[in-house]
């Protein structure tokens, strides 16, 4: 007894199992294809059953093959879109890394410049201290000479004035040195943060080891 779903009989028919084997698919997967809404109406008249076995005619085979090809094309397009999105993210991360490295290089150069400036200020302060000591010794020697007391008094006053000026300059230099040191500490903290950010971006790109920042290399961290 046949359960006919076809309007006309084709000369070439195969079972669902034979179709599944020829396409390297499971029988269950083929039956799911047959039950899909987009295929059910097109397959009407191209299927029939005999002894609980479903047969497909040539048109049914073509419809199932077309459905499978569309699914493959859609999957391939999805993979392409995902790959394109991944490449876009990689490019964005690369650009961000480059900007961070440029900013890190700028900060490194700024720190070097501040270190040089601090060194010059320190040398100036040391020179002024030596000069002040020499002038003080000279003043003491002149005070021991009785015949030059009045002149030495004048010189002493001049030296005292110079000493006060130098003392004020030393205090100003010490203040500048302190401010420069604080600025260097702030720049070091910023540089450490940038180094950590660069390391995080590098890991997201698959790098094996993050690049150390300038202060990390300088202090062996």
pLDDT digits (tens, 9 = 90+) for 113-124: 899 988 898 989
The burial of 219, by beta-carbon neighbours within 10 Å (0-12 exposed, 13-18 middle, 19 or more buried), is given as: exposed
Burial of 46 (0-12, 13-18, 19+ CB in 10 A): buried
CB contact at 8 A, 214 and 104: yes
pTM of the model: 0.31
40-67 pLDDT per residue, tens: 778 888 887 888 889 999 999 999 998 8
Looking at the chain, the whole-number percentage of residues with pLDDT higher than 90 is: 20
> What does the pLDDT read at residue 10?
46
pLDDT, residue 37, reads: 73
Lookup: tokens for 37: 């809404």
Distance CA 7, CA 112 (A): 89
How many other CB atoms are there within 10 angstroms of residue 136's CB atom? 14
Q: Which residues of the chain, if any, have pLDDT below 70?
A: 1-11, 70-81, 146, 205-221
Q: What is the pLDDT of residue 7?
A: 45
Alpha-carbon distance of 143 to 212, in angstroms, equals 61
The pLDDT value recorded for residue 219 is: 62
């Amino acid at each position: 007894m046949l359960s006919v779903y076809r309007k006309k009989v084709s000369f070439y028919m195969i079972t669902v199992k034979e179709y599944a084997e020829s396409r390297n698919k499971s029988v269950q997967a083929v039956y799911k294809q047959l039950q899909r809404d987009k295929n059910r109406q097109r397959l009407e008249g191209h299927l029939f059953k005999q002894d609980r076995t479903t047969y497909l005619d040539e048109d049914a085979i073509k419809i199932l093959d077309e459905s499978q090809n569309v699914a493959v094309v859609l999957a391939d397009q999805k993979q392409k879109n995902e790959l394109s999105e991944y490449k876009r993210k990689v490019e964005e991360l690369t650009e961000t890394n480059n900007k961070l490295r440029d900013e890190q290089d700028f900060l490194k150069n700024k720190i070097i410049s501040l270190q040089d400036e601090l060194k010059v200020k320190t040398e100036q302060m040391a020179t002024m201290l030596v000069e002040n000591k020499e002038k003080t010794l000279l003043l003491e020697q002149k005070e021991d000479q009785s015949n030059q007391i009045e002149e030495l008094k004048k010189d002493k006053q001049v030296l005292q004035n110079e000493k006060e000026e130098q003392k004020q300059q030393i205090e100003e230099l010490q203040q500048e040195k302190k401010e420069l040191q604080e600025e260097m500490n702030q720049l070091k903290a910023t540089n450490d943060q940038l180094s950590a950010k660069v390391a995080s971006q590098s890991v997201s790109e698959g790098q094996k080891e993050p690049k150390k920042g300038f202060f990390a290399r300088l202090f062996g961290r």
